[in-house]
Amino acid sequence: MGKATAVILAAGKGTRMRSARPKVLHEVCGITLLECVIEAVQNAEISQIIVVVGDKKEEVKDSLKGVSVKIVEQPVQLGTAHAVLSASHMLSDLTDVVVVLNGDAPLIKPETLKRLITVNKEADADLTLLTALVDKPDGYGRIFRDAHRRIKGIIEESEASADELQIKEINVGMYVFKVESLLEGLSEIAPRNKKGEFYLTDIISIFYRKGKRIEGLESINTAEVLGINTQRELAAVNQIRRDEIVRYFMDRGVTVTDPASTFIESRVEIGEGTKVYPFTYICKNVVIGQRCCIGPFAYIKADAKIEDDVKVSGMMNKTGLFSRIEE
């Protein structure tokens, strides 16, 4: 697929989260939103990853210690195009295509990123963007197409007419660019508001006017492109991811007697033939062997190792919850 570099945007303030913690450091099933995105990019076999940091940059940088990424600072947050521009000096000699995505979309799948790159290559496109068809597009920019169904631009919701608000195809903020086209387009984006912010979405209309090739790839699973801006959205994505994890283990020979009351975080290993009983919480990086019995009312701390044929149960007594381990 040629040399590909991912630029992950993680500089925003996330004010709607109403939290002192940087938005990308909130967690889904035990790992941060940013880690989720980085893992998807790594599993998509994208060799170089650049993370653009800004607001509370030291906290974000600390969270990335030991992670194989390059970090670029956006000293002043002047929009998404400005964030990508902050990383532009690292692109021209290192890559053929650039994948740009946000650091707050933790459900994105590696297979989708691979498909996005493949479509861009096969069409010899200057830009391929991921879109989604949704029943309730509130809060998203709408994909605007011309009479020939070619993507003409992205209409932000605040600027859309009543008719344009009825468009169900949305921009999800994930793109693949030819590197030379991206760098050319960035130089032509102008600020659009009093804050002097530069929006990456404006590059679509620039490319259209110049006759550059723009492709769209519709996401098969709209859940995977969900971004997170509020605590409610974070909770909803946690539920989706938790269900995915439980189904994954059940498909591999693990019995989960009550999925609704079972919580398994990311990066967990559970051996075939193990049973997980109700009201069990298994933290990240836990390794559980084969033919174990876990629960009910068990809490397995992060990084724990449990050998084959072990029983771990919890019971309620007058002083609260305690665990019992039986070999």
Q: What is the pLDDT of residues 51-96, one digit of tens each?
A: 999 989 999 999 999 999 999 999 888 999 999 999 999 987 778 9
Asked if 220 and 256 sit in the same domain, the reply is no
Q: What is the pLDDT averaged over residues 20-46?
A: 96
Asked if 270 and 177 sit in the same domain, the reply is no
Give per-residue pLDDT as tens, 118-130: 999 999 999 999 9
Asked if 309 and 213 sit in the same domain, the reply is no
Sign of the C-alpha dihedral computed for residues 225, 227, 233 and 237 taken in this order = positive
DSSP of 183-200: HHHHTT----STT----T
Would you state the structure tokens that stand for residue 237, as one six-digit string?
């994505």
* Choice between 4 and 321, residue whose per-residue pLDDT is larger: 4
Q: Can you give the three-state secondary structure of 111-178, one letter per residue?
A: HHHHHHHHHHHHCCCCEEEEEEECCCCCCCCEEEECCCCCEEEEECHHHCCCCHHHCCEEEEEEEEEE
Quote the number of domains for the chain. Answer: 2
Asked if 82 and 191 sit in the same domain, the reply is yes
Asked if 67 and 193 sit in the same domain, the reply is yes
Q: Considering the domain boundaries, does residue 233 fall inside one?
A: no
Asked if 145 and 294 sit in the same domain, the reply is no
Q: Considering the domain boundaries, does residue 235 fall inside one?
A: no
Q: Considering the domain boundaries, does residue 168 fall inside one?
A: yes
Sign of the C-alpha dihedral computed for residues 185, 187, 188 and 194 taken in this order = positive
Whole-number average pLDDT of the chain: 92
By residue range, what is the domain housing residue 133? 4-225
Give per-residue pLDDT as tens, 145-199: 999 999 999 998 888 999 999 999 999 999 999 999 999 999 999 997 777 889 9
**Which residue among 184, 209, 225 closes a domain?**
225
Q: Considering the domain boundaries, does residue 243 fall inside one?
A: no
Q: What is the CATH number of the domain that holds 302?
A: 2.160.10.10
Asked if 10 and 126 sit in the same domain, the reply is yes
Q: How far is CA 80 from CA 99, 152, 281, in A?
A: 14, 19, 38
Peptide linkage before 296 cis (omega within 30 of 0): yes
**Which residue among 190, 225, 260 closes a domain?**
225
Asked if 155 and 287 sit in the same domain, the reply is no
Asked if 206 and 291 sit in the same domain, the reply is no
Q: How far is CA 205 from CA 25, 131, 154, 213, 215, in A?
A: 33, 16, 8, 11, 13
SS3 state at 203? helix
CA dihedral 241, 244, 248, 250 (to 10 degrees): 120
Asked if 180 and 277 sit in the same domain, the reply is no
Q: Give the pLDDT band (50/70/90) at residue 290.
A: very high
Find the range with the poorest average confidence among 90-99, 271-280, 314-323.
314-323
**Which residue among 225, 260, 283 closes a domain?**
225
Q: Considering the domain boundaries, does residue 95 fall inside one?
A: yes
Q: Considering the domain boundaries, does residue 143 fall inside one?
A: yes
Q: Considering the domain boundaries, does residue 237 fall inside one?
A: no
Asked if 214 and 259 sit in the same domain, the reply is no
Asked if 265 and 215 sit in the same domain, the reply is no
Is the pLDDT at 300 greater than 70? The verdict is yes
* Choice between 4 and 313, residue whose per-residue pLDDT is larger: 4
Q: What is the CATH number of the domain that holds 122?
A: 3.90.550.10
Q: Considering the domain boundaries, does residue 309 fall inside one?
A: yes
